[in-house]
Amino acid sequence: MKVGLIQSIRLPSQSIQIMAGMLTEHGIDPVPLLSEAGLARDILHDPWGTLNGYQELAFQRLFWRATQQIPGIGFLTGLRYSLLAYGPLGLAVLVSRDVTEGLCTFAAMQGLGYALFEYDIVTQDDIAVAFVANDDYVPAGLTEFLHERLLGSALTFFRDMRQAHLPIRLIESRLDRPRGWMGLEDRWQADIVYGAPRSCFHFADGVGALPLPLANPSLAENYRRLCQNMLDTSPTHAGIVKSVYQLLMQSRGAFPNALEAAQALNVSERSLHRKLAETGTSYRQALDNVRLRRARELLDTTDLPMSEISDRLGFAEMASFSRFFRRVAGVPPSNYRKNGLRIVAASS
């Protein structure tokens, strides 16, 4: 059993714990907000507590509603995020060869995280020159909070990569803020243009080629393979289809139904089904793909009994899990584990 990898995949929600900590520091009790988001207060103290993307999004909305009058709260919250919170994806970035490889790995595998932004890397001659955060699919009411938090979390992300300051030439931010707000120019050591049409971090010359101090080609390849294995039943999509996969990928056990997913993505359930149908897929297909990926992950890397795997995947009984696995993978889960098969889902 690969305990370390499983633990990395099942990290606690650092995001929830960070936001709850910020609430407490400002005299706001986080417990009622946790309850409203469908979370037990134990998640703040359980080292292996998990949650789904729907609950995290709900808590983000409640957090912003309770704190938006506190100056710079989004930025200050973002400063507390760590690259390691991304589990195996964060580790793959940290041990990459250089800045460009690390950022490209993150962008290629970003579907593993419940990211509301869509990140792109701008390159010239195969060297990263800018990091762009697209907010086309950010739910209404969270745009300001997420762009503000990005100015803090990106600062920590880049410093984690290099274990030092990463030279930035210019920052464009969609926020409407005055020059000198929160002293960000000094913190970033870069000029910031507010009210821009996009949020983008432009690197200083040569930054993309800078080596990373924790570079380890063997580990980088192993973590990239692990990340790819996690994604191989969640094909690369654009738009709302990608958002659905991101939402499901971060769910643990109790997957959201179509109505809950639609609410989390700020669309009607009817629109969700229509948009998925336009791309040739459905909510059930997306759910089947993610469930199969997680089933394979647990069968491949743990010795958990079938009954526990069934519970973790949200099935009411083990027989339902067995029927599901046979339907999408072609063999019973017991045969898959016994024969060490590596089956790709027929649905996509």
Model pLDDT for residues 261-297, shown as the tens digit of each residue: 888 888 899 989 988 887 778 898 888 888 887 888 7
Average pLDDT for the chain: 83
pLDDT score of 14 = 75
Render pLDDT for 77-127 as a digit per residue (tens, 0 to 9).
Answer: 999 988 877 778 889 999 999 999 999 999 888 766 656 788 889 999 999
Render pLDDT for 157-201 as a digit per residue (tens, 0 to 9).
Answer: 999 999 999 999 999 999 999 999 999 999 999 999 999 999 999
pLDDT score of 76 = 97
Q: In the structure, what pLDDT confidence band is assigned to residue 235 with cuts at 50, 70 and 90?
A: very low
pLDDT score of 324 = 87
Which of 1-10, 171-180, 294-303, 327-336 is predicted least confidently?
1-10
Q: Using H for helix, E for strand and C for coil, what is the string for the chain?
A: CCHHHHHHHCCCCHHHHHHHHHHHHCCCCCHHHHHHCCCCHHHHCCCCCCCCHHHHHHHHHHHHHHHCCCCCHHHHHHCCCCHHHHCHHHHHHHCCCEHHHHHHHHHHCHHHCCCCCEEEEEEECCEEEEEEEECCCCCCCCHHHHHHHHHHHHHHHHHHHHCCCCCEEEEECCCCCCCCHHHHHHHHCCEEECCCCCEEEEECCCHHHCECCCCCHHHHHHHHHHHHHHHCCCCCCCHHHHHHHHHHHCCCCCCCCHHHHHHHCCCCHHHHHHHHHHCCCCHHHHHHHHHHHHHHHHHHHCCCCHHHHHHHCCCCCHHHHHHHHHHHHCCCHHHHHHHCCCCCCCCC
Instruction: Look at the pTM and tell me if it is higher than 0.85.
Output: no
pLDDT score of 38 = 84
pLDDT score of 291 = 85
pLDDT score of 138 = 80
pLDDT score of 23 = 97
pLDDT score of 103 = 95
Render pLDDT for 52-89 as a digit per residue (tens, 0 to 9).
Answer: 566 778 889 999 999 999 999 999 999 998 887 777 88
pLDDT score of 289 = 83
Q: In the structure, what pLDDT confidence band is assigned to residue 336 with cuts at 50, 70 and 90?
A: confident
Q: Which residue has the higher pLDDT, 336 or 232?
A: 336
